[in-house]
A and B are shown apart, each in its own frame.
Chain A
């Protein structure tokens, strides 16, 4: 009887041990150098939490002095990954950062250029011409023989010769009004020819000028300079 009791007790204890192992409730204990201990299941839970945290770093978890290396920063291509005043607080753009997207630049519109009062907008090459202080058209031409333009901006090279010292120039892009401010002078290459220039008429698309010598006689000029200011569409 005693013998069977021992065998029975051994079977019961063995069954309990096996059930605990196969049910997964048994956990090994780990000892750390600082004297603390933890079950394997506890460590696994901590690791799972850490794994989740790595993918969801919040600002509070980043140390004040932490910085992202340039190499990693360069990999940010999704606009929503950068927010707040991170960029606007920069006093200068880091070297090698490349060109800022035009959407981040406050570029002056045509209307702002024409109003000419804003002091915090940027002027671009293509819109500088809209500022009222900028000459919209200019040319230098030789009025003797067939009138020939040597250099110009927004004035056609095809000139109408109306007579001695009398020329009509056309603007490549018209003015938005019929009364541009036209300034002109004339002279000779020798530097001794005193000549006077008058504006016969001007319109949105053309200007007619006349040249006389000191005897009030119409005269062609070797050098004629014309500049026009005003508003363009």
Chain B
């Protein structure tokens, strides 16, 4: 019995000590093509406030930055945890995922950059050094 209490405590303690967020996030598709994701941290919940009231209040605070675009609720499990290609994310069918079109555009831009460096016969490191000197 004592072991059970200790094990349960070890599992429950982090929930009290660390910040926790709702399982859903509000996602806006911006006019510039990017997406903004609002994570609802439960530390902001007011006493007696329901989850719906809380999310509505927090969305209202951030809505001014997105004009008339309404956010969509997306489950956290449908949002990538790897942010390597964060700026290439898109919202499709209620899921946030890396957009292959945006990724291809990014790759093309990188290739263009490499081509210019190759023509100049300098490496990325040398470009950075040059940038620091300018």
Contact = CB atoms under 8 A, between A and B. Distances in A.
Given A201-B65, A205-B61, A206-B64, A157 B83 contact: no
Contacts of A144: 83
Nearest to B127: A215
A13 B52 CA distance: 112
B119 interface: no
Contacts of B72: none
B83 A158 contact: no
Interface stretch (A86-94, A163-171, A225-233): A163-171
B39 A158 contact: yes
B44 A156 contact: yes
A224 to B, nearest CB: 15
B40 A158 contact: yes
Nearest to A174: B61
Interface string B15-42: 0000101000000001000111111110
Given A145-B81, A168-B65, A206-B62, A215 B128 contact: yes
Contacts of B43: 149, 157
Given A156-B58, A170-B62, A147 B19 contact: no
A168 B35 CA distance: 12
B65 to A, nearest CB: 6
B2 interface: no
Contact of A162 (B19, B34, B61, B83): B34
Given A149-B41, A170-B58, A206-B65, A160 B131 contact: no
A153 B116 CA distance: 47
Nearest to A216: B131
A163 B85 CA distance: 9
A111 B121 CA distance: 65
B19 A160 contact: no
A172 B41 CA distance: 13
Interface string B107-134: 0000000000000000000001001100
B39 A159 contact: yes
Interface of B: 19, 21, 30, 34-41, 43-44, 58, 61-62, 64-65, 81, 83, 86-87, 128, 131-132
